[in-house]
Amino acid sequence: MSDSFDVNVALGPRSYHISVVSDQFDQFAETLETWMNQNPAFRNSVAEGNKTAFIITDRNLAALHTPQIEKSLKAKGWKWETAIIEAGEKSKSLAVISSLYDRLVEMKADRQTVLIAVGGGVTGDAAGFVAATYVRGLPFVQVPTSLLAHVDSSVGGKVGVNHPQAKNLIGAFYQPLGVFIDTSTLETLPERDYRSGLAEIVKYGVILDSKFFQYLEQNIEGLNQRSPEVLRTVIARSCELKAEVVEQDEHERTGLRAILNYGHTFAHAFEALCGYGELMHGEAVSIGMIYASVLAEKLNLIKHQDTERQIQLLEALGLPVSLPAGTCLDNDEIIDRMKLDKKTVGGKLRFVLPTCIGRVEVFKDISESLVREVLEELAQTKPSTDDFQI
């Protein structure tokens, strides 16, 4: 296995690299300068000594991983300021964004000032939105610290904040200068957060790469033990797979990017109706994938044994494959919530469904009666992951 991986996201003039390493935070500033020298817009900054950064991190990470970034910058002669936001979705607000603009004005930031996001998906989304909008664009680097951010939110260029009426309603597509992923951040990640990220990794195997799915099946022990070698491999491959989709549908105009939402139509409904926070996103996606696979079975799209493989892998990784015991959701409410899903068109339900391990398609106008049949059938399934605790 490789000690490091370099994943290229090929988007013409917006192309960038994702560096996947372990215990190499001391190399962060050197990597950043390499990325800048490779980019015509910022090549002269380093040579002319214009090395100024603005770090945005959350309160949980301010004393954990951020000091390592600061130490690396200091060793290479950078100047920087660090802004600390509160952890959680409340920081994805225009009020918080405005306060970050104020800090940038105070430090006289310009278009050569590098904005560095150190944190999970919330920090990356908020910091990326600041970068996209301040002086119409700052160079932006992602340093994701959660597994979910490693393989999902840090890749693809989606940045944004929430509106009181909906999540991520205000945003942009804004690609970073680079993404620096160090698996050492996962050593301190809480168990549920870690396993939540594993669900998205399994998703990539189901939707795009049967050999990758098989690799996950063969490396369950390494995944459960957070082996750096295994993690570098699966994170890099997940990033490669998402990059392949983003390269073909950067701005979500062809519909291809919708395949990344396998399991999410069910998952988003479960998340909302259980109350946000009751189920973590990855937990809901894990359950949602099985519901979607069973729906695919009923449409004769996939064999039962392929659903079973998903169940066995997810359970082996400590993830739920059915709603927690005692959860009583109304099927009418679930279906109504699904109709709010962004893949729904004209009130007609659309689902991303597997046709085999390694391939999914978007299916339009799935009958409500069939969806209801799946909901009723799986609602009677006893939770089978005994050690899963909410």
Q: Mind listing the pLDDT tens digit for each residue in 95-149? A: 999 999 999 999 999 999 999 999 999 999 999 999 999 999 999 999 999 999 9
pLDDT computed for residue 1 by the predictor: 65
CATH 1.10.3720.10 fits 191-379, yes or no: no
CATH class of 5-188: alpha beta
Contacts of 352 (CB under 8 A, 6+ apart): 207, 258, 259, 261, 262, 263, 264, 265, 292, 343, 360, 361, 362, 363
Contacts of 103 (CB under 8 A, 6+ apart): 54, 81, 83
Q: Is 122 helix (H, G, I), strand (E, B) or coil?
A: helix
Residue 368 marked in a binding site: no
d(CA 125, CA 105): 20
Q: Torsions phi, psi of 337, nearest 5?
A: -65, -35
Residue 145 marked in a binding site: yes
What is the pTM assigned to this prediction?
Answer: 0.93
pLDDT computed for residue 385 by the predictor: 47
Residue ranges of the chain with per-residue pLDDT less than 70: 1, 276-277, 341-347, 381-390
Residue 355 marked in a binding site: no
Amino acid at position 312, single letter: Q
- Alpha helix ranges (H) inside 39-120: 43-47, 66-75, 94-106
Residue 17 marked in a binding site: no
Residue 143 marked in a binding site: no
CATH 3.40.50.1970 in the chain: give the residue spans. 5-188
pLDDT computed for residue 46 by the predictor: 82
Return the active site residues.
136, 158, 200, 242, 252, 257, 261, 264, 268, 281
Instruction: Determine contact, residues 309/289, Cβ cutoff 8 Å.
Output: no
Tokens 């570098």, residue located: 232
CATH 1.20.1090.10 in the chain: give the residue spans. 191-379
Contacts of 22 (CB under 8 A, 6+ apart): 3, 4, 182, 183, 184, 228, 231, 232
Q: Is 337 helix (H, G, I), strand (E, B) or coil?
A: helix
Tokens 């392929």, residue located: 306
pLDDT computed for residue 32 by the predictor: 97
Residue 123 marked in a binding site: yes
Instruction: Determine contact, residues 134/104, Cβ cutoff 8 Å.
Output: yes
For the record, the structure tokens of 27 come out as 């190399």
Q: Is 58 helix (H, G, I), strand (E, B) or coil?
A: strand
DSSP letter for 358, please.
T
